[in-house]
Structure 1
Amino acid sequence: MTNPFLFFSELLRQPMWIVIWVAILMAANLTSLLFWDEWLAKTIFATFLISASAMLLMFSMVGYQRVLGLAHILWIPLLYFVLREIPLTEGNYKIYLLVLAACNGLSLVFDVRDVWLHFFEKD
């Protein structure tokens, strides 16, 4: 097994746009702490922690591979709840949920592609 904390050194070996994108995703999900009074903010934060833990565990087992996108599987139901909540919110919280939905939604597109390539497009 690989030390899961080596994930970050492997991440830094990726193209700069990936490093920046991961930082944006982390910031977007951790911003949920600013809206802690909202039930969905707690759900976003918990989902982020579970997904990050799953990714580190997967990394320790298989290394830095495209299959790590599977760690974001819980973002699919989370995205549903975020999109459902947006029309019911206003102000900064609404803006936050819109940004989070865009970031996590786009990340899921990347993840689906990466996982597909991992299983069906062997180099």
Structure 2
Amino acid sequence: MYVLEILWIVLFRFAPLPRIWAVCLIAINLGALFFLDTTYGLVALLAALTGIAVMMVIYSRLGFVRLLGIGHVFWIPMLIWFAASLPDRQTDPALYWWVVVLIGFNTVSLVIDAADVVRYLRGERAPHYRWRAT
């Protein structure tokens, strides 16, 4: 249920530019489903699902707060490993480009998430989106 609430907020309550960013980020990470026969796809899916679980706990207790970005912390070891062991570009170009794009988008997202978590820790704790419009 909380997953659908967060998805609804992202898709229908965000301003246009952050909404486009979020849709691209979701789509790129869902690309893991096309590569489940590889370690890259499995690791990306596991990192995403683990992060979603953490975000659901935070959301259920605090609402849509800036702390939600901490769920992406599982991307850090994944991105380091992916960057250090890129798949062979010649052998599997689709996998290679997906990993490169994933590294780029998720790294930018981590920077945004870190800024949000810092803002939360400095006192910006009020939920900035609600499930239903008030």
- Is residue 63 from structure 1 mapped to residue 80 from structure 2 by the alignment? no
Match of 2:129 in 1: none
In the alignment, what sits opposite 1:20? Answer: 20
| 1:54-112 Cα shifts (integer Å, max 9, x gaps) | 212211111111111111110111111110121x4211111111100000000000000
Output the CA distance in 2 between the equivalents of 1:101 and 1:58. Answer: 25
SS of alignment partner, residue 8 of structure 2: helix
- In structure 2, stretches of 5+ residues that fail to align are 126-134
Report the CA distance between 1:122 and its aligned residue.
Answer: 4.1
Structure 1 residues 41 and 14, CA gap change in structure 2 (3 angstroms): same
CA distance in 2, matches of 1:36, 1:10: 28
What TM-score, normalized to structure 1?
0.88
- Distance in 2 (CA, whole Å) between partners of 1:14 and 1:26 is 14
Instruction: Note the 1:12-91 alignment, pairs <5 A.
Output: 12-86=12-86, 88-90=87-89, 91=93
Instruction: Give the aligned partner of residue 111 of structure 1.
Output: 113
Which segments of 5 or more consecutive residues in structure 1 lack a partner in the other structure? none
SS in 2 for 1:73: helix
Shift of 1:121: 5.0
Say which SS state the counterpart of residue 85 (structure 2) adopts.
Answer: helix
| TM-score (ref. length: structure 2) | 0.81
Partners of 2:57 and 2:123 lie apart in 1 by: 24
d(CA) in 2 for partners of 1:8, 1:32: 18
- Residues paired across the two proteins, number: 120
- Give the number of the structure whose residues are more often helix, by fraction: 1
Percentage identity across paired residues of the two chains = 26
Describe the shift of the 1:35–1:65 C-alpha distance in structure 2 as closer, same or farther (beyond 3 A).
same
